Amino acid sequence: MNLIFIFQRFCEIIMAHKLIYYGSDTLKKVAEEVRNIDSELAGIADSMFNIMYREKGIGLAAPQIAISKRLITLDISDYEKVPPLVIINPEIVERSDGMEPYEEGCLSVPGITGDVIRPSAILIRALDINGREIRIEADGLLARVIQHEIDHINGILFVDRLEEYKQKELRAELKMIKKLNRAV
């Protein structure tokens, strides 16, 4: 083993980001605004895409890998003609009056799904990975994923939005999921 190899392995180990689960404090915090869009941030976004694809998710927010930053990745290209997106410091500028239910799930709450009612269309303003301002008008699945991920950076999980009776029904399962954090 040469030194370069050892150094590379060391970097891989310290850079290894992992999913965290329901019950973790980072998922309950309002994440910090991204101030520097640099190679470090691009590296985090890359890790997020890798984890998202590996876990067969369509969206991920940085707090889900224990990084409390307002950074989101998503890829719904299997369902709609939208390229993979990196969304930084998003702000919802407009919401439709029309609301709709949709069955949501979350990589941080594995095995659980539930209907969440949200505005069916939104307009957001954000930055892309090059620091350019972007505006996205979204409806359907895209609006759904963006709102779910913006909730994450505000410390909210989709299960927090389920009706009370449903939350009660899920209590035992959620308790089991909390334990996954100990194995991470």
Distance CA(81)–CA(140), nearest Å, equals 12
Please state the closest distance from residue 38 (CB atom) to Zn ion, in A: 26
The CA–CA distances, whole Å, from 50 to 58, 72, 74 equal 11, 13, 11
Please state the closest distance from residue 73 (CB atom) to Zn ion, in A: 12
Could you identify the residue written with the tokens 């890998």? 65
* Phi, psi dihedral angles at 109 (to 5 degrees): -130, 65
C-beta closer to Zn ion: residue 106 or 162: 106
- Is residue 99 classed exposed, middle or buried when 0-12, 13-18 and 19+ CB atoms within 10 A define those classes? exposed
C-beta closer to Zn ion: residue 106 or 153: 106
The single-letter DSSP state of residue 58 is S
The single residue of 80, 133, 149, 173 carrying the catalytic annotation is: 149
Based on C-alpha coordinates, what's the Rg of the chain?
17
User: Active-site residue 164, yes or no?
Assistant: no
- Neighbour tally for 101: CB within 10 Å: 11
C-beta closer to Zn ion: residue 88 or 106: 106
What are 33's two structure tokens?
Answer: 């605004």
C-beta closer to Zn ion: residue 37 or 74: 74
Contact footprint for Zn ion (CB under 5 A): 106
Please state the closest distance from residue 150 (CB atom) to Zn ion, in A: 11
Please state the closest distance from residue 6 (CB atom) to Zn ion, in A: 36
Annotated active-site positions, please? 149
